[in-house]
A and B are shown apart, each in its own frame.
Chain A
C-alpha cells in the first residue's frame, strides 16, 4: 500500500489531453470490453472490419486514469488499416513503448488495452464462426491478465459485501 510518484511522459499527457479515436462507433463490426469499473480501469474498443479482415477504423471509450486513456488511444492508432492477423501480434510492451514508456505501476494499463483488442479479435471470429489457424486457442498473456484483474476486483467486491460494508 504505497503511493508511487507518477511522472507521466509528454506523450501520455498529450494523448490524455487530446485522445485520438475517442467515442462510441455506431457501425462497429465488433465491440469488446476489458477491465471492470470496480478496479477503476475499464476499456471499450469498437472495431470496423472489412470483408478482407482489415481493420478499417477503431475507436475507444475508457473509464480510467491518464495511462489507461493514452494506451487505449495509441492502440486504436496502431491498428488502423492493419490486417487482423497483424493486429493480433501486438504485444503490450510495444504499446507501452508507443506512449513513450509507462511507470511500472501503470504497466497493467497497457496490458489491459491489448487484452481488450485481443478479445475483440476473438469475438469477431466467434461471431463469424470461423477459426483461423493463427489464432491461438489458449488465452494470450494480455487476455489472461485482463481476466485476472476482473476476477480480483469481483472477489474484493464480494468480500466487502460479505463483511457487510458494501
Chain B
C-alpha cells in the first residue's frame, strides 16, 4: 500500500504551481507559528505546569498567558472560562457529553441543527444510550436554521441546544443570537453550545454579547497546529469531565498540557486577528473571485450555501453536475490543485454529505460537490491558476461520464 502511495506521489512530478484549498480538513502551518512553538519544545517551559520547579512554572505562566489571549479574542476577560482540549472533536465531545451528564436532572432532550458537524451528530447518537433524545432542526436551502421549528421544539425538558455559528461545509452564518433568544425565552435553563470553529477569526465573535454558554474553537481551522482547541465555558455553567486521569491546569481535561501546541494555537489566533478586517476582506474577495470565475466558465454548477455577507469569508462549495467528486479531486490534484469533495465514493454507505442533503441537494448534486477554503496567504495568482485548472478537469471528468446517468 505504501508503494502505491509513492507511485501516486510520483505522478505529481512536474507540477509548476500548487494551490492548497482543502483547509477544511487540514492546513499548512505558517512558519511564524512554527517558529513561535519551537522554543517550547527544548528551550523553555517544557516542564509540567503543575510542578514546583522553574520549567514547570514557566509552562504554567505560558499556558495562563495563552488562555488570557484566547479569552480576549473570544470576548471574555475571564481566563478560567477557557479549557484547552486536543481539538474541535474533543471540545465538542466535552461540551455535549459533559453538559448533558452534569445537567441531566434538568431534562434529557437535546436540540441540534441538521447540519452540525459529524462529531456533534455522533455524540448525540451516543447519548441515546444514556436516555437522552435528540431532535434535529431542519435548515432552509441556504442552510439557515428554521427558527420557528426551533421554537416549537424547545421545551422545559430541553437540557442542551447546539448550533454551529458558521457551518463548516457551506459557510452559512447562522442567526445565532436569535436562535439563542428563542431557546432561552422558552427555557432559560437550557445550555446553549455553539461550535464556533469556522467563525473564529473570520467573523466578529464575542461570546459575552452572544450570551452562549459553551463555544468550541479549534487551532487547525485558523492555520494553527493540529491537536489543540478550546472550549469556552461560561462561568457558572456545569460541565462534567468526560475522561479520567491526572488533572492539572485544565480542570476538565486530564493529562499533561501540551504547551508548544497551546503556544502555536495562540500565535495562530494573534495572526488571524492582526489586521482582521483586511484579512477578512482579502479572503472574501478571493472567495468571490473563485465563485464568479467558476460560474463564468462552467455550465451546470450550483453554489452550496448563501451568497455575499451571510456566507463566511473563506468558504467556496460548488456542485458540478455530471461530474463525480472523488474523480474530480484526483484530476485536480494531478494538476496541483488540492480540494475535497462531499461525494460518498469513499464510503460503502452511499450517503453523500449530510449537510448538502439537508439543504435539498439531490444525491448526484452532492456527489459532485467540491469544498474549497481560501486563506489570507492565497494570492490572485493562485486563484487564477485554480480557475485555469478547474474547467479543464471538469470537462475531462464530464467526458468520462458522457451520457451516463443523464435523465
A10 interface hit (Cβ, 8 Å): yes
- Chain B residues positioned under 8 Å from A23 (CB to CB): 402
Interface residues contributed by chain B, number (CB under 8 Å):
43
Q: Which residues of chain B (312-360) have a CB below 8 Å from chain A?
A: 322, 324-327, 330, 334, 343-352, 357-358, 360
A87 interface hit (Cβ, 8 Å): no
A143 to B397, alpha carbons, bound, how many Å? 26
A41 to B349, alpha carbons, bound, how many Å? 12
Contact A3 B4 (CB under 8 A): no
Q: Which residues of chain B (250-289) have a CB below 8 Å from chain A?
A: none
Can you list, as one digit per residue, whether each of B371-406 has a CB less than 8 Å from chain A (1) or not (0)? 000000000000000000000000000011111110
- Chain A residues positioned under 8 Å from B15 (CB to CB): none
Contact A165 B346 (CB under 8 A): no
B4, B5, B367, B405 — most chain A CB neighbours (10 Å): B405
Contact A24 B4 (CB under 8 A): no
Complex partner residue of B4 from A4, A10, A42, A166, CB under 8 angstroms: A10
B156 interface hit (Cβ, 8 Å): no
Q: Which residues of chain A (7-28) have a CB below 8 Å from chain B?
A: 7-10, 13, 16-17, 19, 22-24
A98 interface hit (Cβ, 8 Å): no
A37 to B322, alpha carbons, bound, how many Å? 9
User: When A40-B324, A65-B324, A166-B360 are in contact, do A8 and B347 touch as well, CB less than 8 Å?
Assistant: no
Contact A166 B405 (CB under 8 A): no
> What is the minimal beta-carbon distance from A104 to any residue of chain B, in angstroms?
9
CB-CB nearest in chain B for A43: B404
> What is the minimal beta-carbon distance from A96 to any residue of chain B, in angstroms?
14
CB-CB nearest in chain A for B402: A61
Can you list, as one digit per residue, whether each of B356-370 has a CB less than 8 Å from chain A (1) or not (0)? 011011111001000
A10, A40, A108, A165 — most chain B CB neighbours (10 Å): A40
Contact A65 B343 (CB under 8 A): yes
B8 interface hit (Cβ, 8 Å): yes
- Chain B residues positioned under 8 Å from A17 (CB to CB): 11, 334
Main secondary structure of the interface of A (DSSP, over half): mixed
- Chain B residues positioned under 8 Å from A152 (CB to CB): 350
- Chain A residues positioned under 8 Å from B334 (CB to CB): 17
Contact B2 A7 (CB under 8 A): yes
Contact B7 A44 (CB under 8 A): no
Complex partner residue of B350 from A8, A10, A39, CB under 8 angstroms: A39
Can you list, as one digit per residue, whether each of A40-75 has a CB less than 8 Å from chain B (1) or not (0)? 111110000000000000000111111011000000
- Chain B residues positioned under 8 Å from A142 (CB to CB): none
Complex partner residue of B403 from A1, A40, A61, A105, CB under 8 angstroms: A61
A165 to B7, alpha carbons, bound, how many Å? 42
Contact A3 B347 (CB under 8 A): yes
CB-CB nearest in chain A for B363: A38
Contact B8 A7 (CB under 8 A): yes
A156 interface hit (Cβ, 8 Å): yes
Complex partner residue of B351 from A8, A19, A33, A156, CB under 8 angstroms: A156
> Which B residues are within 8 Å of any A CB, using their own CB?
1-2, 4-5, 7-8, 11, 114, 118, 122, 138, 322, 324-327, 330, 334, 343-352, 357-358, 360-364, 367, 399-405
Given contact pairs A61-B402, A68-B345, A165-B358, enumerate 16 new A-B contacts (beta carbons under 8 Å).
A4-B347, A6-B346, A7-B5, A9-B4, A17-B334, A40-B324, A40-B350, A42-B405, A61-B401, A61-B403, A64-B327, A105-B346, A156-B363, A160-B363, A165-B360, A166-B361
CB-CB nearest 6 A-B residue pairs: A61-B402, A40-B367, A37-B405, A65-B345, A38-B363, A37-B364
